[in-house]
Amino acid sequence: MQAEFVIVGAGSAGCAMAYRLSEAGASVIVIEHGGSDVGPFIQMPAALSYPMNMKRYDWGFTSEPEPHLNNRRLACPRGKVIGGSSSINGMVYVRGHARDFDHWAKEGALGWSYADVLPYYKRMETWHDGGHGGDTTWRGSDGPLHVSRGPRKNPLFKAFVDAGQQAGYEATGDYNGQKQEGFGPMEQTVWQGRRWSAANAYLRPALKRPNCSLVNGLAQRVVIEDGKATGVEILQGGRREIIHATREVVLAASSINSPKLLMLSGIGPGAHLAEHGIDVVADRAGVGRNLQDHLELYMQMAASQPITLYKHWNLFSKGLIGAQWLFTKTGMGASNQFESAAFIRSQAGVEYPDIQYHFLPIAVRYDGKIAADGHGFQAHVGPMRSPSRGTVTLASSDPADPPRIFFNYMSTPEDWVDFRRCIRLTREIFAQDAFKPFVKHEIQPGAAVQSDAELDAFIAEHAESAYHPCGTCRMGRADDPDAVVDPEARVIGVEGLRVADSSIFPRITNGNLNAPSIMVGEKVSDHLLGKPALPRSNERPWIHPDWKTSQR
C-alpha cells in the first residue's frame, strides 16, 4: 500500500486535500478510523444534535476537570466518520474576519493574511444567496462546497435582526463578504436539503478517481527514517500495516489527534515524550500547546406566542418532518435552523467584532432536551478571542488511549469581564421593541441574576464549549521555537511531513471553524503540489469608522 501522499484523517481539510491532490494527478491514500456517513442522522440538517452524541460518529473526548468552571469536564466532540467534524457539526459557515488572518501573518504565518486566503475561500465555494443580496465579488461561484441560507420564515429571525438595528448596531447582508460586523442572515453548508459535508463536497468526487483511495484504520504513528517521514503505521482489524508515502505524509486528524500523533511519533516536548518512553525525533515545545476554543452561553427567553419550533418537539411532528425530508429533501428538516446571526464589538477601542451570536427559534439544552417553559427562543453568545490557553498531552504511549485535553477555560480576569459584557449586551437586544410581541420573560440566566458575582456563578455552571478547538500545532516562522509548522505547513525539524487542519491556526478565528479548516486544506494542497499560491486579493474589508471611540 503506497501513494505519493498519505493523509491521516478524512475530515474537513483532509477531504479538500484528497480532492485537489488527486485532481492534479497525484496518487493519494486517505486513512480514516471512522466509518460511513450514510444515514439520515448525518445527512438531514435538522437532525444535527444526534450524530454529535453518537459513539459511532464521535471520538467522545472530554476535557480534564476545568478548575474555573466548577471542575466540570466539558464535552469535546470530534467527528470519527467520513467527513470528520463536518459530518457532525452544526453546518454553520463562517470564514472568519479579515483581521484574524492578518493577525496570523503578523504572528509569523507569512502568506496567510486575508489578501492571501480570500482567493482560496472563493475557490472552494459555490455560494447561493437565496435572493437576499450580498457580496458576489467576495464569494465563489464554482467550488465544490455549496453554501446556502435558510428560508428565515419564522418571524423571530427577523425580530432578532431588527432588534440589533434598534439597539444601534450595524446590519450586514453577508458576514462572509466585505462586512462581518452587524446583524443578518446566517449561512450553512447545506445543499439541496442535505448536509454538504467535506465528504459530500470533496471526498466522494475524489474517490471516483483511480488515483485516490480510502483506507480504514487507526493511525499508530508516523514512520520516520533518517529524519524523513516515509509512511504511517496503522492498526487494521488487529493487524499492523505500514502505508508508504513516496512524497509526503500529511496529518489532518484534528486539533486533538494531530498533536497526539506527532507526539506518538517522537515529535513534541522532549521531556514529556521521555516520560512516556518515546524516543525524541524532534524536540518541539509547541506540540499540543496553544489550545484554544470558544465558550458560549444560551441566553433563553420564554415566548408569549406559540410560534417557536417547540410545536414540532414531539414524536408525531418529528416523524412528519423526517418523512417529508426523506422523500423530498425539503421542509423543516432541510435547515439547521440557525438562520440569523450577528457579530458585534464588545466595547469602543475593539477594532473588529469579538462577540458572535447564533439565534435559534427554540429554547433547548445542550443535550437536546427542551427548556422547561416550552415555547421559547435563544441566542448562543460568547467572546471570540479569549486569552486563555490550554494543552493536549499524552495520557500514555498507547495510540488507543485518548489524550489529555485541558482547555484551561476562563483562566484570566479578562475572560470574566468579557463574558459578563456578553450577557448584558444580549439582554439589551432582547429588550428592544422588535421583541416586545414575542418575549414573555427571561428563562436563563433569569432576571434575578444581575450582579457580577451572580453572573460569574451562572457562567461557571452553564458555559459550554462551542466545539471550536484549534491551535495545538501552531504555524509560525521556521526559527520560532514555539511554532510546530512553518508557513507552508511543514513540520519544523522533520522532512516530508505536514499538518493541515485547525491545529495550525496561530489564533482562533471569529466564528465557527469549519470554513477556515477547509480553506487550510485547499491552500496546503497548493504547497504540497509545489504550485504558486493564488494571486492575492485587493479587496478591502469593512471596519467600523468609529471603532476607536464607539462600541456600535
Catalytic residues: 468
Cα dihedral angle (131, 137, 138, 143), rounded to 10 degrees?
Answer: 80
Q: Quickly list H helices, 192-308.
A: 198, 204-207, 254-264, 270-275
- Give the angle 22-24-28 at the CA atoms, nearest 5°: 25
Q: How far apart are CA 253 and CA 259, in angstroms?
A: 9
- Give the angle 203-209-212 at the CA atoms, nearest 5°: 65
Cα–Cα nearest to 248, from 500, 498, 526: 498
How many Cα atoms sit within 13 Å of 164 on the Cβ side?
A: 25
CB-based contacts of 130, cutoff 8 Å, min separation 6: 148, 149, 151, 185
Q: What is the DSSP letter of 226?
A: T
Q: How far apart are CA 305 and CA 42, in angstroms?
A: 32
* CB 269, CB 285: distance < 8 Å: yes
DSSP-derived 3-state class of residue 347: coil
* CB 415, CB 388: distance < 8 Å: yes
CB-based contacts of 465, cutoff 8 Å, min separation 6: 63, 74, 75, 76, 293, 294, 295, 296, 407
Q: How far apart are CA 536 and CA 135, in angstroms?
A: 18
Question: Residue 493: left if φ>0, alpha if ψ -120 to 50, beta else—which one?
Answer: left
- If DSSP states are collapsed to H, E and C, what string results for 397-421? CCCCCCCEEECCCCCCHHHHHHHHH
Q: Which three cell numbers stand for residue 463?
A: 458555559
